[in-house]
Amino acid sequence: MEYLHDQERAQKAYDALLKYLTVSMRSERECRNKLYEKGFHRDEVENAIERAKGYRFIDDEEYARSFVNFNKSRCGAKKLL
């Protein structure tokens, strides 16, 4: 019975993560912090993060590239560096 409860919590963590990611692209750290804020345990958070990374819903390299491209015209390239 406890195993089923663990699976349910892991799925809830993943669902919460997907909901968080639908608003905007996020870094892995932002996602991890958000799940901890919501009260999920380490194993649940790590499972959700790894699943999302497997589908490339979380990709820090792409996040950084997107961040720079979006902000370079607003801030200037020198300021971003």
Check residue 72 and give its pLDDT. 78
Check residue 13 and give its pLDDT. 97
Check residue 43 and give its pLDDT. 95
pTM of the model: 0.83
Q: Rounded to the nearest 5 degrees, what angle is found at the Cα of 6, between the Cα atoms of 42 and 47?
A: 45
Asked if 80 contacts 43 with a C-beta cutoff of 8 angstroms, the reply is: no
What does each of the 81 residues of the chain score in pLDDT, given as a tens digit?
466 578 999 999 999 999 999 999 999 999 999 999 999 999 999 999 999 999 999 999 999 999 888 887 777 666 655
